[in-house]
Amino acid sequence: MTVGTQWVLDWARRSAAVLSQHRTELGDLDRAIGDGDHGENMDRGFTAVMAKLDDVPQDATPSDVLRLIATTLISSVGGAAGPLYGTAYLRASESVADRDRLDSSAIAGLFAAATEGIVQRGKALPGEKTMVDAWTLAVEAALQSAARDEQPVQLLASAADAAEAAAAATEPLVARKGRASYLGERAIGHRDPGAQSTALILRAAADAAVATADD
Amino acid sequence: MTDAEQTTHDRVAVVIVSHSAQIAAGTAALARQMAPNVALEEAGGTDEDQLGTSFDLVSKAIERALRGSSAVVLCDIGSAVLTAETAIDLMSERDRVRVRIADAPIVEGAIAAAVAAQTGQSLDGVVEAAEAARPASPRGSRTSATGGPVPVTSDADADRYVRRATLTNADGLHARPAAEFVRLAATFPVKVMINGKDAKSLLGIMSLGLMRGATVEISAEPDGATAVDALAELIESGFAGKETR
């Protein structure tokens, strides 16, 4: 079983829908320990992505679409999330260059490349109460799933589960990177908004696989 | 090369990236006062003129700066750095090698970078000047770790050329006079020290906190005697007619 360009397109559409739906929740999380614009910024970014998806040519590869998402997010999200997610999609695009279909190991590789991009850009490590917490645990789950020879649908569900658990696990942490790091212990008890948006986006990836695998 | 021989185009340009348009504009204005011939490009706030950072504004400011030879970027918190890094990553190889982000506080770093650029220093030199602003905050470095005053270090080796001079201008060796001092020091190819600090380091000098009436000790190896004399005379003249417009 594999996924292809339709998976990436559906993933982006589902991300846009879920981020729009959770816009207020993400904003509230960010207002508690940041500057409050994360919900609005992500919604604006994926709305801009949606507007471009209609023009994607028939023969576009997964890599082409991921690159389009990357450049659109970089110039429309703003804040730290724009460069971070933009870099993630850019590295993801590079990792699957010239492939039409993605199997489990290619998807795990795509997430690993995205995470590497985020770590490189934001210089945050796991445990510092950032989106890196969600991405790294998702990659770990994806790699383990691929090693068990599981199918993409299963792999993506495991990655989404791991990201959701990781987002919840940021609540008791003190932030070491990002705006929340200025708050010290006052950040304890609040979920990191970047980890939460990551969990939403990775759940959208899993749902898109169910809808489009071997499309 | 003196200021007059170099055009703004030849000098390293300074890009200021802030979450706030007012901070970017204010920082640029401060730096411009001390470095009138340096291109200062601002990227502050979002496309909608709110607090935040805009990839497009940052990219365009760096592109404008790179009409000259090279550029250094100073950023405020968090996403300003991330956005600038991403903008640079997406540039052509040819542009990418001509721009550097300085790891320095935005105001102090921008001023130090602009003054170094004004004196015609290379991109490396300008970045170094900006980053020297990092540990040596003016307030922090006036006292040593134990809280006592910083001793005037031993510039006065037997074979060094040393001159003492008393500050007579109203502001002491702060801001613009300090910039004037650094600009003159940079015209000499020798290492000159003032009260233990590099005479070419704006922040080093400002960190001395020298007020009117203070006596300074300027020194260099014997081949730097001309530089020491010129700098001592600048101080004794009270920077008369020499301050930047």
* Interface with B, mutate which of A87, A93, A176 (most B CBs under 10 A): A87
User: Which contacts of B196-199 are long-range, i.e. CB under 8 A and separated by 24 or more positions?
Assistant: B196/B150, B196/B151, B196/B152, B196/B153, B196/B155, B199/B227, B199/B231
Mean pLDDT within A132-150: 91
Phi/psi of residue B70, nearest 5 degrees: -165, 175
The per-residue pLDDT for B122 is 96
The answer to whether A75 faces chain B, any CB pair under 8 Å, is yes
Question: CB–CB of B91/A75 below 8 Å?
Answer: no
**B9 is annotated as an active-site residue:** no
Find, among A104, A195, A201, A202, the residue nearest to A144 by Cα: A104
Looking at residues A32-51, what average pLDDT do you find? 94
Q: Which of B63, B75, B79 to mutate to test the interface with A (most CBs of A within 10 A)?
A: B79
Whole-number pLDDT of residue A165: 97
Interface test with A, best of B19, B54, B89 (most A CBs within 10 A): B89
Residue B141: predicted pLDDT: 36
- Which of A63-72, A133-142, A166-175, B156-165 is predicted least confidently? B156-165
Q: Answer yes or no: is pLDDT of B119 > 70.
A: yes
Residue from A30, A33, A35 whose CB has the most chain B CBs within 10 Å, to mutate: A35
3-state helix, strand, coil in chain B (%, to 5): 40, 15, 45
**CB distance B54–A78 less than 8 Å?**
yes
pLDDT exceeds 50 at position B139 = no
Give yes or no for residue B135 having a pLDDT over 90.
no
Name residues 14-43 of chain A within 8 A of B (Cβ). Answer: 35, 37
Higher per-residue pLDDT: B201 or A185: A185
**Check: complex ipTM more than 0.90:** no
- Inform me whether the pLDDT recorded for B136 exceeds 50: no
Instruction: Write out pLDDT tens, residues A172-212.
Output: 998 988 888 888 888 999 999 999 999 999 999 999 999 99
d(CA A155, nearest CA chain B) in Å: 30
Contacts (Cβ under 8 Å, ≥6 apart) of A78: A37, A41, A44, B46, B47, B52, B53, B54, B55, B79
A39 or A140: which leads in pLDDT: A39
Chain B residue with minimum CA distance to A88: B86
pLDDT at B100 over 90: yes
Mean pLDDT of B215-223: 93
Do A83 and B56 lie within an 8 Å CB cutoff?
no
pLDDT tier at A125, thresholds 50, 70, 90? confident
Q: What is the DSSP letter of A9?
A: H
Whole-number Å distance between alpha carbons of A30 and A37: 7
C-beta separation of A96 from A106 below 8 A: yes
CB B195 within 8 A of CB B210: yes
* Mean pLDDT across A1-8: 96
Is B243 a residue whose pLDDT tops 50? no
Q: How far apart are CA B110 and CA B130, in angstroms?
A: 7
Q: Identify the weakest region by mean pLDDT among B11-25, B128-142, B193-207.
A: B128-142
Alpha helices in chain A (DSSP H): 5-21, 23-33, 38-53, 62-76, 81-95, 104-122, 131-147, 152-168, 193-212
Question: Would you say residue B142 has pLDDT above 50?
Answer: no
Catalytic residue among B19, B32, B174, B200: B19
Tell me the C-alpha distance between A203 and A197, whole Å.
Answer: 10
What pLDDT is recorded for position B242?
47
Residue A78: pLDDT band with limits 50, 70, 90: confident
- Show the tokens assigned to A107: 């998807």
Quote the pLDDT of residue B6. 67
User: With an 8 Å Cβ cutoff, are A78 and B56 in contact?
Assistant: no
In angstroms, the separation between the Cα of residue A122 and the nearest Cα of chain B is 7
Q: Work out the minimum CA distance from A120 to partner chain B, whole angstroms.
A: 10
**What's the CA gap between B17 and A128, in Å, rounded?**
25
* Residue contact A80–B78, C-beta within 8 A: yes
Contact B54 A86 (CB under 8 A): no
What's the Cα-to-Cα distance from A90 to each of A94, A113, A137, B132, rounded to whole Å?
A: 6, 9, 20, 34
A148 min Cα distance to partner chain B (Å): 36
Cβ neighbours, 10 Å, residue A154: 17
**A70 has a chain B CB within 8 A of its CB:** no
pLDDT at B195: 92
Tokens at A175, concatenated: 């932030």
Q: CB of A4 within 8 Å of any CB in chain B?
A: no
Which range is least confidently modeled, A56-60, B46-50, B153-157?
B153-157
Closest partner residue to A179 (CB to CB) among B54, B56, B78 is B78
What percentage of chain A carries pLDDT values higher than 90? 79
Nearest CB to B55 within list A37, A82, A121: A82
Are the beta carbons of A22 and A200 closer than 8 angstroms? yes
Instruction: Provide the whole-model pTM.
Output: 0.70
CA distance A29 to A42: 13
Residues in B closer than 8 angstroms to A117, CB to CB, are none
The whole-angstrom distance between B82's CA and the closest CA on chain A is: 6
Whether residue A80 and residue B86 make contact (CB cut-off 8 A), yes or no, is: no
Average pLDDT of the residues in B17-24: 96
Contact between chains at A35 and B52 (C-beta distance less than 8 A): yes
Give me the pLDDT at residue A214, please.
74
Q: Report pLDDT for B5.
A: 53
| Interchain proximity B86–A74, CB inside 8 Å | yes
Closest chain A CA to residue B76: A179
**Are B114 and B31 contacting, i.e. CB atoms less than 8 angstroms apart?**
yes
Whether A83 sits inside 8 A of B90 (CB atoms) is no
Give every CB contact of residue B87 below 8 A, 6+ residues apart in sequence: B55, B58, B59, B62
Closest CA to A83 of B15, B79, B95: B79
How far away is chain A from the Cα of B18, in angstroms, using its nearest Cα? 11
pLDDT at residue B134 above 90? no
| Section B81-102 average pLDDT | 95
Chain B CB contacts of A178 under 8 Å are 78
pLDDT grade for B47, boundaries at 50, 70 and 90: confident
Q: What mean pLDDT value characterizes chain B?
A: 84
- Tens digits of residue pLDDT in B143-194: 333 333 333 444 456 689 999 999 988 878 766 677 788 878 988 989 999 9
pLDDT mean over B101-129: 95
**Type of residue at B243:** E
Of residues A84 and B139, the one with the higher pLDDT is A84
Read off the pLDDT band of B49 (50, 70, 90).
confident
